[in-house]
Amino acid sequence: MRSTTVSLTLLSLFHISVAQPRHHHNHAHQHKANRASISKRDRITVTDSTQTTTTEAPEVVIYVDQHNNPIRTTTETIVYVPMSIETNSTSAVTTSTVRLSAVSTKAVPTGESLPFAPPAPPPLASPSPEYSPPPEPSVSLKSLLSSPEPSASYTPTPQSSDDGSTRHGVTYSPYKGRGGCKSADDVDADFELMAEDYGVIRLYGVDCDQVATAYAAAKKHGNTLFLGIFDISSVEESVATMADGVNYDWSMVDTVSVGNELVNNGGATVSQSLAALSQARSALRAAGYDGPVVIVDTFVAMLAHPELCDESDYCAVNIHPFFDPNTQAEEAGSFITSTVTRIRSRLADPDQRIVVTETGWPWQGESNGIAIPGMDEQSLAISSIKDAYSDNASDVILFTAFNDMWKKPEAGTFMAEQFWGMGGRYSPSDE
């Protein structure tokens, strides 16, 4: 099944059903999911100069804004019409006509615009003076449409590590369900429950004194930390807070990420993300950290903008099978590995390490096609993911350690946003 991108841009990305959650990982930075903002159509009509007859088929459609940032993914009926046949504007069904050129990546919808204005990117702190963002890639739509299917799924290659190499990672947030930050004792109690099962613990920001409290707990319980700069407008301040939080003991830090799904959600442009990456790397090196620095975004964003991976020290990508309505829980592992294969085919270095920095399955919420939440389903999905990465567990970070009761349930994420905790587990501070 092809995927077709419409609105202000039409770009065929790959040949599997795609969708992605809109997670809100910082207590002070919650945004309404974009996926509910575009109404479902009965069909979309595309005038295509390469077609000789009218054809109709279900396609996976990726809605984007004028900057090619993905907004929503769904399945629509696409009607491909030759240029010589005029679209019947009086048809009883709702249509959106898009003119498609075989040699252009862009097409302007006729008589239609986005139903909302995409959010303006946040202000970005000045990047290091030696940095010059690379130009946006120019990709031929024809070459994308004719790209062959990968012949096989990617098999992860084991990575050596002094700690946690045989254990999966897990994401963690330091917020209480009733509001406020968890105390150092709360964080230590959480780590006591999860530390034995996981190697690296991924954080998203530096607020709530989370770096210091997680550092103390990780050091006590034998974990390493995947730290995050959530607000890319305050990179240097975040780095300073990190350095203080770990007492400049960078041996405890596996990776530092810059942003989370910002390009996917319209929170930053590709150039802004790359500039923030360069700025963060320079500040971290000056503070004594010489480990990996990466941009984290969704697989949709990485497929559209592989330079986000190319410029990172490894490719860090969020892949959630639950948000594909055609994937069952037991197929979660194969969904991830096939998606990783597609990302790898677009990288400048096809041997670059790819780490899945978020993946999991909700145990409560509403169904998304044949993707059904539930305790049994979560168990099947997690087993499938672990089986797929049995030889390289450290290349997967599961989402998430505890239920996130501080989040707001939303229809766009199938009312499941709070219920991704591994095994349905609640933090002791929320019980």
Q: Which residues are the active-site residues?
A: 358
Side-chain-side CA neighbours of 354 within 13 Å: the count stands at 33
Side-chain-side CA neighbours of 148 within 13 Å: the count stands at 3
Sequential DSSP letters for 322-346: GGSTT--GGGHHHHHHHHHHHHHTT
Q: Running DSSP on this structure, what letter comes out for residue 426?
A: P
| 276, burial (CB in 10 Å: exposed 0-12, middle 13-18, buried 19+) | buried
Q: What is the dihedral of CA 266, 272, 273, 274, to 10 degrees?
A: 150
Contact 214, 201 (CB under 8 A): yes
CA distances from 177 to 79, 207, 211, 293, 404 (A): 47, 16, 19, 30, 7
Contact 275, 236 (CB under 8 A): no
Handedness of CA 102, 39, 29, 422 (dihedral sign): negative
Smallest CA-to-CA distance from 182 within 197, 165, 203 is with 203
Q: Residue 252's CB: how many other CB atoms inside 10 A?
A: 16
Residue 356's DSSP bridge partners are 317, 396
**Spatial CB neighbours of 364, under 8 Å, sequence gap ≥ 6:** 373, 374, 416, 418, 419, 424
Sequential DSSP letters for 116-132: SPPPPPPP-PPPPTT--
Residue 62's DSSP bridge partners are 5, 73
Residue appearing with tokens 């109690």: 189
Contact 196, 188 (CB under 8 A): no
**Spatial CB neighbours of 138, under 8 Å, sequence gap ≥ 6:** 105
**Spatial separation of the C-alpha atoms in residues 168 and 149, rounded to whole Å:** 29
**Spatial separation of the C-alpha atoms in residues 298 and 321, rounded to whole Å:** 12
Question: Can you give the C-alpha Rg of the chain in angstroms?
Answer: 22
Residue appearing with tokens 């090196």: 285
